[in-house]
Chain A
Amino acid sequence: KNEVEQSPQNLTAQEGEFITINCSYSVGISALHWLQQHPGGGIVSLFMLSSGKKKHGRLIATINIQEKHSSLHITASHPRDSAVYICAVRGIQGAQKLVFGQGTRLTINP
């Protein structure tokens, strides 16, 4: 079993729909990251969370430390939101390496 599990692996929706991507992890963490990877491969950091909720534009990220679960929400989705969304957790000890989920491929159709 992977330390970080994302669901769904693939998600197709229509423009305007509310999107939820889930991430569960099984290890102790110091922070959780949500990342966006575009088709060319470049990765952009969206959020870094250690508790509660963060919002940036149409994106909302929440984390429940007790349940070891995080969600990324996209409101009023748009085709330009199409990308792979990756959850990554940062360890507590040592070099605080990131452990990545396998990613969720989101496609928003116009």
Chain B
Amino acid sequence: SQTIHQWPATLVQPVGSPLSLECTVEGTSNPNLYWYRQAAGRGLQLLFYSVGIGQISSEVPQNLSASRPQDRQFILSSKKLLLSDSGFYLCACKQVFYGYTFGSGTRLTVV
């Protein structure tokens, strides 16, 4: 079965600092990978998805970027964080014969 490792669980960063959140997947190959964000009091919103190495699609214009350097690694980054980047970030994985598997999430607070 698929397992997602996502870290860190919580993060407090100052405005203007860089960000790197990493998500790695085990137990599967060539999965679709997703980054979602949940702002306070709102539902989860898709930020990026990837159907393969180096293939990134962005759903909403924003201050963030994503990369997929390896088949099972998905990274969410920012060069300079904004206050509005605060939220709960969730990595998810889907492979053809499986449903979705979710990471444990990262709660980011930008101060």
Residues of A with Cβ closer than 8 Å to B? 2, 4, 31, 33, 35, 40-45, 48, 86, 88, 95-103
Contacts and interface: CB of A to CB of B under 8 A. Distances in A.
Interface in B83-108: 88, 90, 92, 94, 99-102, 104-105, 107
A102 B41 CA distance: 8
Interface residues of B, number: 25
Contacts, number: 56
A54 to B, nearest CB: 12
Give chain A's interface secondary structure class.
strand
Interface of B: 9, 32, 34, 36, 38, 42-46, 49, 51, 57, 59, 88, 90, 92, 94, 99-102, 104-105, 107
Given A96-B94, A98-B92, A45 B101 contact: yes
B106 to A, nearest CB: 8
